[in-house]
Amino acid sequence: MGAMLEVNNLTVRFGQMTIVDEISFSVSPGEWLMIIGPNGAGKSTINNAISRAVPYTGTVLFEGTDIRRSKSREMARNIGVLSQNHYVGYGFTVEEVIRLGRYAHAPGLLAGGKDEGEEKVRDAIRKTGMEPYLNQSVLTLSGGELQRTFLAQLFAQDPRLLILDEPTNHLDLIYQKQVFALVGEWLKKPGRAVISVVHDLSLARAYGTHALLMKKGKIVSIGSVEQVMAPEYLNQVYDMDVYDWMRQMYGQWSGAAQT
């Protein structure tokens, strides 16, 4: 099976600083690639390059086509991005924001033949449980509700590859679980893949199929989650005994549950 996304020698520089240094990897349908590593490793910058938000050198191919050559709308039909925080300037309704997701599918200037899009929008609203909020202003939503609104927009956009940039950074536990469960459900349909940047190693391990471990702009290890999250790699990257720390933390939990 051919790769969906192929990244070759990706390098991103800001002035003199090299943030991402000659990175190559690929993602195939059905995979959920977790990009992990300490702060400043360049994880989010990879995402920004793949979504064409920052200039880069090297090539990024989506199904064999250089993304630099895709038109904006075509790009959005292939790759969708969920970023970590949103501040909406005006009081748009939840429904208006979700419907913006269909922008890339709108047939030119004249809006017609919306049937399939309508189905996608309703489906996205139902899956994310946003029905009760549709006419509410986005300014009145909590962080978790706002993130679900943008997730619904993304589902309505219906891309093939989902890019999540620390999607649950400011969210409490229950929303973290919701977002990851929704994305996991989304990935079950054939021909889809996910790349996400996460800080929480347990989340990465629980939901990822593959992982890419980075430090200072370079790849330390890449492969299946089990391979990459082996103690020797993690300890090297984080400069500490990660497994020991995890055992201590989660040991306390399991101990508490028993008593």
SS3 sequence of 94-129? HHHHHHHHHHHHCCCCCCCCCHHHHHHHHHHHHHHC
Region 32-91 residues binding other proteins, contact defined as CB under 8 A: 51-53, 71-77, 80-81, 83, 86-91
- The angle subtended at Cα 46 by Cα 41 and Cα 49, nearest 5°, is 140
C-alpha 63/C-alpha 193 separation (Å) is 12
C-alpha 191/C-alpha 239 separation (Å) is 38
- Using CB under 8 A as the binding rule, whether residue 157 contacts other proteins is answered as yes
Q: Which of 36, 50, 104, 152 binds other proteins (CB under 8 A)?
A: 104
The nearer residue to other proteins, 86 or 205, going by C-beta atoms, is: 86
The nearer residue to other proteins, 150 or 207, going by C-beta atoms, is: 150
Q: Which of 93, 136, 209, 236 binds other proteins (CB under 8 A)?
A: 93
Backbone φ and ψ for 89, nearest 5 degrees, come out as: -75, -30
Q: Which of 65, 68, 122, 248 binds other proteins (CB under 8 A)?
A: 122
Torsion of CA 167, 188, 80, 109, to 10 degrees: -140
Which amino acid is it at 211? A
Q: Which of 37, 42, 101, 217 binds other proteins (CB under 8 A)?
A: 101
Nearest distance in Å: CB 92, other proteins: 5
Which residues of the shown chain bind other proteins in the complex (CB under 8 A)?
51-53, 71-77, 80-81, 83, 86-93, 95-97, 100-101, 103-104, 106, 109, 114, 118, 122, 139, 150, 153-154, 157
